[in-house]
């Protein structure tokens, strides 16, 4: 193999490594942005019952007949695996919890429903942001 071919191969390998690092950094930044948005949404709509630390100790918790779940223990209660789909379904109303209200008027109100502006895609994005945040706070 000629010296120029070795340098070309080295350049390609180096470029591939830099590209991989750049994609990983961009993905990490995107995940952080999604998680930050999910945290803000959680604090706005869920913390009143679950608490800002998601331990089930929000200001309205004592008014409920059933104590809100400690959302930091979901993975622990599921053999160390965060139950992403189950949590998503619970928030969007597929796994109905009495405390969350009916699918017509969930406790978090109109904001977590399809308001026709962003449609179903925007609604699902809101839910995914919230669930991704909850995944980051597992103990």
Q: pLDDT tens, 7-45?
A: 566 666 666 666 665 556 555 667 889 999 999 999 998
Q: Which among 105, 96, 89 is positioned nearest to 66, based on CA atoms?
A: 96
Q: Does residue 26 fall inside a structural domain? A: no
What's the whole-number average pLDDT of the chain?
A: 78
Asked, for residue 8, whether it belongs to a domain, the answer is no
24 assigned to some structural domain: no
Q: Examine residue 35 and state whether it is found in any structural domain, yes or no.
A: yes
104, part of any domain: yes
Confidence bin at 126 (pLDDT 50/70/90) = confident
Torsion of CA 8, 10, 16, 21, to 10 degrees: -140
**Residue 105 confidence (pLDDT) above 50:** no
Q: Residue 7 falls within a domain, yes or no?
A: no
Would residue 2 count as lying in a domain? no
Domains: count for the chain: 1
Assess if residue 53 is contained within a domain: yes
Residue pair 101/93 in contact (Cβ under 8 Å)? The answer is no
Domain that holds residue 91: 31-136
Average pLDDT score over residue span 58-78: 93
In whole angstroms, give the CA distance from residue 55 to residue 31: 23
Q: What percent of the chain has pLDDT over 90?
A: 42
């Amino acid at each position: 193999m000629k010296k120029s071919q070795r340098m070309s191969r080295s350049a390609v390998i180096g470029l591939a490594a830099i590209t991989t690092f750049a994609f990983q950094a961009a993905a990490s930044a995107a995940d952080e942005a999604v998680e930050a948005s999910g945290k803000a949404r959680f604090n706005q709509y869920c913390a009143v019952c679950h608490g800002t630390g998601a331990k089930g100790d929000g200001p309205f918790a004592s008014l409920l007949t059933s104590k809100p779940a400690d959302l930091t223990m979901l993975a622990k209660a599921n053999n160390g695996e965060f139950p992403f789909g189950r949590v998503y379904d619970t928030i969007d109303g597929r796994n109905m919890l009495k405390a969350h209200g009916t699918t017509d008027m969930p406790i978090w109100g109109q904001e977590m429903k399809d308001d026709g502006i962003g449609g179903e895609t925007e609604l699902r994005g809101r839910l995914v942001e919230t669930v991704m945040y909850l995944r980051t706070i597992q103990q």
